[in-house]
Structure 1
Amino acid sequence: MNSLTGELPETISSCSLLEIVDLFSNSIESEIPPSIGQCSFLQQIILGTNNIRGNIPPDIGLLSNLSALFIPHNQLTGTIPQLLGSNKPLIWVNLQNNSLSGEIPPSLFNSTTTSYIDLSSNGLSGSIPPFSQALSSLRYLSLTENLLSGKIPITLGNIPSLSTLMLSGNKLDGTIPKSLSNLSKLQILDLSHNNLSGIVPPGLYTISSLTYLNFGANRLVGILPTNIGYTLPGLTSIIFEGSLSDLTYLDLGGNKLEAGDWSFMSSLTNCTQLTNLWLDRNKLQGIIPSSITNLSEGLKFGACNVAIKVFRLDQNGAPKNFFAECEALKNIRHRNLIRVINLCSTFDPSGNEYKALILEYRINGNLESWIHPKVLGRNPTKHLSLGLRIRIAVDIAVALDYLHNRCSPPMVHCDLKPSNVLLDDEMVACLSDFGLTKFLHNNIISLNNSSSTAGLRGSIGYIAPEYGLGCKVSTEGDVYSYGIIVLEMITGKCPTDEMFKDGMNLRSLVESAFPHKINDILEPTITEHHDGEDSNHVVPEILTCAIQLAKLGLMCTETSPKDRPTINDVYYQIISIKEKYHALINH
C-alpha cells in the first residue's frame, strides 16, 4: 500500500525467475502486459485496488505455478482466461468489482486445489458451469452482482468443504437444489435477489453451522417449516440436536411464503444468536397465537413490511434493555425515529424466555452497510453522494433534537452509531435501538431508568470520553456520537479501524488534514458519485461542503462536553450546510 503510479512494463517478461508481483493498493494506471504470461515461475499476481484496465492476458491461464490471482477493484474488461483453473496449484482467485463479461470458464470449477473464488460485481453472463467432484478444497465462492442465468448446478452440493456460497443479485431461476443441504460446513448462504421459485429444501434450515441465511427477493412459495432452528434427530437420539445456535441473520423477505399456524416462530427461539429476521413482503397472514405472544390482540401480517428484533437474553442486561426500549418507543413518535408495531414476550417450549419487537421495516438497511459495504460483504449498485450524506446527517440531527428538546420527558439515546441509523426506500434516515436510552426530568437522569453515572455506556468508538470517567449521561454525549458519525461519513473510516493506534483516532485524523488537505482523507466515492453532475464542475463545491462538514464533526467531538454545540445549534448548522450544498451544485 503505497502511492506508486505509472504503467506495468512490457519488459516484465525479462524477469525470468520472477515469482511474485505485488502492487496492491497503489495508483497504477495500466493494462496487464501480455508478456507476463512468459514468466513461467510466477506464483502470485496481486494488483488489487489500482486502475488496471483492459483484458486479462489469456496466457495467464497457462502459468503452471500460479497459486494466486488477485486483481479486485480495478477496471478490467473482456473475459476470464479460458484455461484459468488448469493451473495445478491455483488456490486463490479474486476478480471482484471489475467490468468483466462473458461466461465463467468451466476449467475454473475443475481445480483440485482452489479454495477461494470471488467474481462478484462484474458483468458475467451465461449459466454457472457444473462443479467437478475434484473441487474438494473450495471454501469460498462469491458470484454476486452479475448477469448469470439458468439454474443453480446440482453439483454444488458435492463440495464438502464449502463454507461460504453467495449467488445473490443475478438472474438465476428454477428451484433451489436439495443437494445444497449436504453442505454440512456451510456458514454463509446468500441466494437473494434472483428469480428462484418452488419451496426451500427443508434441510437447508437445519445446517447447524449456518450463521447467515438469505433467500430474500425471489419467488419462493410454501409454508415456513416448523423445524426452523432444529436439526432432526439421528437414529440414536431421541431429542432435537444441532440447533442453529450460531445463526445471526435470516432473510426470507420478498417471496410468497406463508406462515401456516405460526409455529415456526417457536422453533426460532432455539436460534439464540439471531439478531436479524426479515419476513417482509410475503403472504404471512393470520393472527399470531397466544402461545407465541402475550398480546391480547393478535398481530396481523400481510402487506405490512416488518422487521423482527430478537433479544439475546443470555447477554448481560438484555431483559432490562427490552423493557427500556419498550418504554422509550411508547413515548415517541417522529418521522426520523423507528416505529414499533408490536412486541412479543413469551416462553419457548423449553421454558426459556423469548422477547422480540416487531418494527417498521426499512428497505435500505442501516447506514453502516452503506459507509462500509465491502467490509460487510455488501456490493451496492448505488453509492452515497455527498448530498445524500448531508441529508442523512440532517435527519439524524432532527431526530436528536426531538429526543433532547421536544418529547416529554426528554431522552438521551446513548448508543448512536451507523448501525442504529436505518434508511427507507427514499433514503430517509431514522434512529433505532433504544435499549440504552435514558430519560431526563428537569435535566436530571431518571433514577427509575438509570444509575447516577454512565459508565462505558454505548458502543466503543462512539462513546463520549467523559463517560469513561464515570460522568453522568448527558445530551452532550449524543452530540459527541453524532460528530463521530459525521466524520465517519466523510472519511469512510470506522473509529475502531486498525489504523487508529498510538494516540491516533478518527478525530485527530480529520483534524490533521483540516482544512487544506481535507481531500487527502475524503472517502473516494464522495467525489465519484455526486447526483449526476459533471465531475469537473462539482468537485470544488464538494470540497467546500466537505470542509464545513468536517468542521461540524470536529466541533461536536471536542473532548470537553461544555465546548460542544447543543443539538439545536448542530441542527441549524447542518441545515445551513445543506442549503449551501444545493446552492453550489445548482449554481
Structure 2
Amino acid sequence: MEGEIPSSLSNCSNLKFLNLHGNKLKGKVPTELGSLMKLKLLQLGINNLVGGIPPSLGNLSSLTKFGVADNNLVGNIPDAIGQLNGLVFFTISFNKLSSTIPSSLYNVSSLQIFSVSGNQLNGTLSANIGLNLPNLQNFYVGGNEFSRSIPTSLCNATQLQRIDLVKNKFLESVPTNLGNLLNLSWLDLSHNYLGKNLHFLTSLTNCSRLKNLVLALNQFDGVLPNSVSTLSNELIKLYFGNNEISGTIPGSLANLVNLIGLGLNENHFIGVIPTAFGKLIGTSSLPLVNINLSHNSFMGKLPFEAGNLKNINEMDISNNNLSSEIPTSIGNYVSQNNLSGPIPKGLEKLFFFEKLNLSFNNFEGEVPIKGVFKNISALSLIGNTKLCGGMQKLQLTKCPVNVMKPRKSIRFKHAIVIISIVQIFLLFSSFIVWMKKSRKKSPSMVSTMDLINFSYKELYQETNGFSRNNLIGSGSFGSVYKGFIHLEERTIAVKVLNLHKKGASKSFMVECNALRNIQHRNLVKILTCCSSMDYNGNQFKALVFEFMTNGSLDFWLHQGLDNENQSMNLILLQRLNVAIDVAFAIDYLHNHSVQPIIHCDLKPSVLLDNDTVAHYDMGDETSIEADTYSYRILLLEMFLGKRPTDDMFKDGLNVHNFAKTALPKELVQIVGPILLPREVDEAPIAIVATRDL
C-alpha cells in the first residue's frame, strides 16, 4: 500500500487496532490520530514516514502497543508519550530521532518491550530505570550516543531477557549485579568504552539461560577469569574481540561445548591454544560455525580435531606465532607420527569452509589442493614464507621432491658414497656460481621482506575511521587513505579493497603474493597485507604501503600548471629521471622478479617520494607488450604536456600520431611550453647529467 495516512481516520472513533506495518506509506503521522481514544494498537513500522511523532498521540490513553520503527522520523520523543500509563510495547527504532529520552517515559511501569535503537539519542539513562520499569523484558538502546555508566538499577528489572547497549559511549565498568537477571538470554555491550576487569563475568554464572554474550570492541583488560567456563550451558555465542585482555585461555573454556561462535581476536592472549577446544562442536541443530583467534600471540600447535569441526564455516587464526606443528590427528585422517609435518590434508575434508585464514604465522610445507584449498577467495596463507605447492593460483614455490629410502644393501651403501661425492661437487659449484651472481646483483633488489602486522582496529584508528579527509585516491578495486602510526611517527598509505567489485579478492591475493617476495627501489614498498573483519562483521582486505610524500606524477605534470607557484612544475632533468625510474621498475617486473609480473596500468599515477624518485604499485595480468606500449604513451605525456584524453585528440588524431607528425624538425613546437623558455639550451647538459646507470 502506498500514499499517505489519511487524517480522516480520526472519524473512526471506535477504532481499536490500526496496523499499517510494512507498506510504502509516506508523509507525516497525522496529528488527528490523537483523537482515537479507544485505540489499543498503533503499528506504523517499516514505511517511509517523515516528520516528528505528534505529541497528540499522548492522548491515546487506551494504547498498549506503539510502533513506528524503520521510518525517517526526526525530532525528539514527545514528553506526552509518558502519559500512556498502560503502554506495554514501545518501539521507535531506526529513525533519526534525537535529544534525550523524556523522564516521563521512565515512569510507564507497564513497559515490557522498550526499543529505541538506531537513532541519534543522547544523554544518560535514568539512574532508577530498573526500579521504575520493573516489568522490562527486552531493552534495546543500541546505536545511539548514550554516555556515562550503565545504571546498576537496570539489574532490578529481574524479568529482563535481552539487553542491547551496542554502539554507544558508555564508560566505566559493568555492573556486578547482572547475576540478578536469572532470565537473561542476550547481553550485547559491544562497541563502547567499557573497561577495567572482567570480574562481572562471575555474577553472570547465575544466568542459566544466557545464550549470547558479546563484549567486543571495548577496553576490557586483565586476564580471562576461570568463571567464564562456568557460564550457562546454553551459551552459543561468546565474543570478546578487540579488547586488551591478556594471559592464557583457560582450558576449561572448552566446557562451553554448545558454542557455535567464538571470538577472542585482537587481544593480547599468549601461550598455546588449549587442546580441549576440540570439544567445541555446537549443538545437534546448531553446529560450530565460527572461530576467530586472530591477532594475538598464540604459539605452538593448533589442536582442533576436524572430525568434531566438520560443519565449521569460518576459522581465522591469522597474525599469531603458530608453527606447522598442527597435530596430524586432526580429523583422524593422518597418523600420529607426523606431528611436525605440513598443513594436514585432513583439512581438505571440511567441505563447509567459507573462509580459512592462516596468514601471518609460521606454517611450512606443502599446501593441500582440495576442499577449501582450491578456492583462493576463501583461503588466506599470506605471510607464511615456508609454504610450498598448492593450487597454481596461490603462486607458491614448488615443493622439493622426496626420494624414498632404498634397502640398506652393499649396493645402496656404494650409491650413498657416490651420491655424497656428487652432492659435494654440486654444492661447491653452486657456491661458486652464487658468488659470481651475487657480485652482479643490483643492490636495489632483495628477495624477502619483513612484513609488519596491522589489525583492522589499528588501520581504522590510524586513518581516522577511513575518513574522507584522509582519502588520497581511488582505483578500480578500492580506495587509498592516508594514515599515521603515532608510535612510530610514520605515515602510511592504506589501499582498502572494494570486495563487491568482481575480481577484488583475486587482485588482493595476486598483489600480496607477488609483493611478498619482491622489492625494488622504484616499487612502492608494501608494509603488510591485512585480511580481517570490520566492525560490522564484514570481510576487510587492505594493502598497507609506504606513503609517498610528493604525491603523483599526474599532479606535477598537469595540476601544477594552474598553481601560482611555478616551482611545482618538473624541469626537463627531473622528467628524464622519472622516466628512467619507471623504466627500471618495469624492467625488474618483466625480467628480474622470481616470476614475470605485468603491470597493465601504466599512467601518471606513478608516485614520487621526498627525493622525487618514482615508484609504482602493482597491476594485474595482461601482456608485456601492452606495458611497453603504455610506457611509450607515458613518455609522450610527460614531454608533450598533453593527456591522451585531451580534447584536441579527436577525429582520428591521438597523442601518438600527434608526436609522429612533428618528428624530427617540428619537435620544439609540440614539446610542453613550460619546458622551453629555460631548458631548450640546457637539454644537452641535462642528458649528460642524468643519473649514473
Q: What interval of TM-score do these two structures reach, taking the shorter chain for normalisation?
A: 0.5 to 0.7
**SS of the counterpart of 1:189?**
strand
* 8 Å contact from structure 2 (residues 260, 282) kept in 1: no
* 8 Å contact from structure 1 (residues 209, 244) kept in 2: no
| Aligned CA distance change for structure 1 residues 309 and 425 (closer, same or farther; 3 Å) | farther
Q: Deviations along 1:19-56, whole A, 9 cap, x unmatched? A: 22211111111111223222211112111111100011
CA drift at 1:82? 2.1
Match of 1:166 among 198, 204, 214: 214
Which residue number corresponds to residue 502 of structure 2?
A: 396
Which residue number corresponds to residue 74 of structure 1?
A: 119
CA drift at 1:390? 6.0
**SS of the counterpart of 2:275?**
coil
Alignment of 1:350-369 (within 5 A): none
**2:301 matches 1:275:** no
Give the Cα separation in 1 of the matches to 2:165 and 2:538: 31
Alignment of 1:58-69 (within 5 A): 58-69=103-114
Aligned partner letter, 1:136: L
Q: Deviations along 1:462-521, whole A, 9 cap, x unmatched? A: xxxxxxxxxxxxxxxxxxxxxxxxxxxxxxxxxxxxxxxxxxxxxxxxxxxxxxxxxxxx
Give the Cα separation in 1 of the matches to 2:235 and 2:291: 14
**2:68 matches 1:23:** yes
Alignment of 1:49-198 (within 5 A): 49-86=94-131, 87-152=133-198, 153=200, 154-182=202-230, 183-198=232-247
Aligned partner letter, 1:173: D
Aligned partner letter, 2:260: T
CA drift at 1:300? 8.9
| Deviation larger for 3-12 or 281-290 | 281-290
Aligned partner letter, 1:396: K
Q: Deviations along 1:179-223, whole A, 9 cap, x unmatched? A: 222221110000111111222222222312100001111122232
Give the Cα separation in 2 of the matches to 1:57 and 1:72: 15
Aligned partner letter, 1:137: N
CA drift at 1:142? 0.5
* 8 Å contact from structure 2 (residues 295, 455) kept in 1: no
Q: Deviations along 1:347-391, whole A, 9 cap, x unmatched? A: xxxxxxxxxxxxxx99669xxxx9xxxxxxxxx966999968962
| Aligned CA distance change for structure 1 residues 401 and 17 (closer, same or farther; 3 Å) | closer
CA drift at 1:99? 1.1
CA drift at 1:266? 4.8
**SS of the counterpart of 2:148?**
coil
* 8 Å contact from structure 1 (residues 18, 42) kept in 2: yes
Q: Deviations along 1:255-296, whole A, 9 cap, x unmatched? A: 23232xx2x425454222223222223333464466667999
Which residue number corresponds to residue 290 of structure 2?
A: 249
**2:535 matches 1:423:** no
Q: Deviations along 1:92-122, whole A, 9 cap, x unmatched? A: 1111111111111112223221111111011
- Which structure has the greater CA radius of gyration? 2
Give the Cα separation in 2 of the matches to 1:253 and 1:381: 21
Match of 1:45 among 87, 90, 104: 90
| Aligned CA distance change for structure 1 residues 117 and 383 (closer, same or farther; 3 Å) | farther
Match of 2:392 among 321, 331, 337: 331
Which residue number corresponds to residue 411 of structure 2?
A: none
CA drift at 1:13? 3.0
Give the Cα separation in 2 of the matches to 1:191 and 1:219: 12
Which residue number corresponds to residue 409 of structure 2?
A: none
| Aligned CA distance change for structure 1 residues 132 and 331 (closer, same or farther; 3 Å) | closer
Aligned partner letter, 1:117: I
What stretches of structure 1 of length at least 5 have no aligned partner? 232-239, 302-307, 343-360, 371-379, 404-418, 428-567, 569-578, 581-587
**SS of the counterpart of 1:4?**
strand
* 8 Å contact from structure 1 (residues 275, 309) kept in 2: no
Aligned partner letter, 1:139: S
| Aligned CA distance change for structure 1 residues 321 and 184 (closer, same or farther; 3 Å) | same
Q: Superposition RMSD on alpha carbons, in Å?
A: 4.8
Which residue number corresponds to residue 373 of structure 1?
A: none
* 8 Å contact from structure 1 (residues 229, 244) kept in 2: no
Aligned partner letter, 2:296: N
| Deviation larger for 321-330 or 138-147 | 321-330
Q: Quote the sequence identity (%).
A: 23
TM-score, normalized by length of structure 1?
Answer: 0.53
**2:346 matches 1:228:** no
Alignment of 1:526-541 (within 5 A): none
Give the Cα separation in 1 of the matches to 2:303 and 2:168: 38
* 8 Å contact from structure 2 (residues 350, 371) kept in 1: no
CA drift at 1:177? 2.5
**SS of the counterpart of 2:213?**
strand
Which residue number corresponds to residue 541 of structure 1?
A: none
Q: Deviations along 1:409-463, whole A, 9 cap, x unmatched? A: xxxxxxxxxx997623559xxxxxxxxxxxxxxxxxxxxxxxxxxxxxxxxxxxx
Which residue number corresponds to residue 485 of structure 2?
A: none
**SS of the counterpart of 2:145?**
coil
**SS of the counterpart of 2:106?**
helix
Give the Cα separation in 2 of the matches to 1:198 and 1:9: 54
What stretches of structure 2 of length at least 5 have no aligned partner? 1-45, 354-367, 377-387, 400-452, 479-496, 510-536, 546-625, 627-643, 646-693
* 8 Å contact from structure 1 (residues 40, 65) kept in 2: yes
| Deviation larger for 201-210 or 114-123 | 201-210
Aligned residues: 367
Give the Cα separation in 1 of the matches to 2:476 and 2:93: 27
Aligned partner letter, 2:315: L
**SS of the counterpart of 1:53?**
strand
* 8 Å contact from structure 2 (residues 477, 504) kept in 1: no
Give the Cα separation in 1 of the matches to 2:139 and 2:316: 32
| Aligned CA distance change for structure 1 residues 310 and 186 (closer, same or farther; 3 Å) | farther
* 8 Å contact from structure 2 (residues 348, 370) kept in 1: no
Give the Cα separation in 2 of the matches to 1:421 and 1:120: 20
Give the Cα separation in 1 of the matches to 2:315 and 2:397: 15
Q: Deviations along 1:541-568, whole A, 9 cap, x unmatched? A: xxxxxxxxxxxxxxxxxxxxxxxxxxx9
Higher relative contact order (CA 8 A, sep 6+): 1
